[in-house]
Structure 1
């Protein structure tokens, strides 16, 4: 599983994506002393064995979003929920699953990518009694 975490993090950091809005050099938001890192990519970027170990569907029509929550340089357990909307405002719920490994906690979810289009993501991260929201747009492409 450690290999899985390393590969997912590497994939998230190395995947270049075209965004509808300006992509920050690092996909992260800071809320007080909590930093939320996030990224999304097509599931075909994952090696088959890594996708299988993470229980992810590897398909040209499936995207993956990866979220991690950090406080004081350490992983923080939280509750992550969200939606992804297309240009017609049809919304798909993101069903995040927590993955815990030695020294890492992250949340992954999959969503359909049927065609090239700009999608709007809304991610809610609850830590304790605080709920923080991240909104971003990203142009997505079906894989090959």
Structure 2
């Protein structure tokens, strides 16, 4: 139990470099577990990013621009903290009437973290289905990650 708590805390601290603390308080941790791997994801409106972070990563801050952050962790042993791993990520986003577009992910490497970020335009209060194909580097495994999320124009 202690290890899981430390894992959650580590992830939240890592994400806080990209996202303001008030956003993290409003959003729950979202992840899918595939054996020794964990795929963590969060979707937000890009206006939640601090101006400094958005500028550093070349992301437009807008109430109409969605932002996805994906990280892949290898957790082979519950006695140690999961380690971030690089991966190849392909994804699509689809609205409820079936309009689909490809997501283009940008890799961001930091001291103790690797993130994959993508942005996309959205319509107010529209629910989107997001599908990711995640292939950790050095592994022959591919993980199918699917989730739906509603996006709102927020300040």
Contact 1:84–1:121 under 8 Å retained in 2? yes
Q: Distance in 2 between matches of 1:57 and 1:9?
A: 14
**Aligned with residue 74 of structure 1, among 77, 83, 90:** 83
Assess, with a 3 A threshold, how the Cα gap between structure 1 residues 67 and 84 changes in structure 2: closer, same or farther.
same
Q: Which residue of 2 aligns with 1:44?
A: 47
Structure 1 unaligned blocks of 5 or more: 18-24
Deviation at 1:80, TM superposition (A): 1.0
Number of residue pairs matched?
A: 135
RMSD of the TM alignment (CA)? 2.2
- TM-score scaled by structure 2? 0.79
**Aligned with residue 30 of structure 1, among 15, 28, 33:** 33
Deviation at 1:96, TM superposition (A): 0.5
Higher relative contact order (CA 8 A, sep 6+): 1
Q: Which residue of 2 aligns with 1:22?
A: none
- TM-score scaled by structure 1? 0.84
Q: Which residue of 1 aligns with 2:7?
A: none
Q: Distance in 2 between matches of 1:12 and 1:131?
A: 33
Assess, with a 3 A threshold, how the Cα gap between structure 1 residues 51 and 115 changes in structure 2: closer, same or farther.
same
- The answer to whether 1:137 aligns with 2:140 is no
SS of the residue corresponding to residue 124 of structure 2 reads coil
Larger radius of gyration: 2
Q: Distance in 2 between matches of 1:133 and 1:61?
A: 27
Runs of 4+ in 1 over 2 A off after TM superposition: 3-7, 9-13
Q: Which residue of 2 aligns with 1:7?
A: 17
Q: Distance in 1 between matches of 2:108 and 2:22?
A: 15
**Aligned with residue 108 of structure 1, among 114, 117, 122:** 117
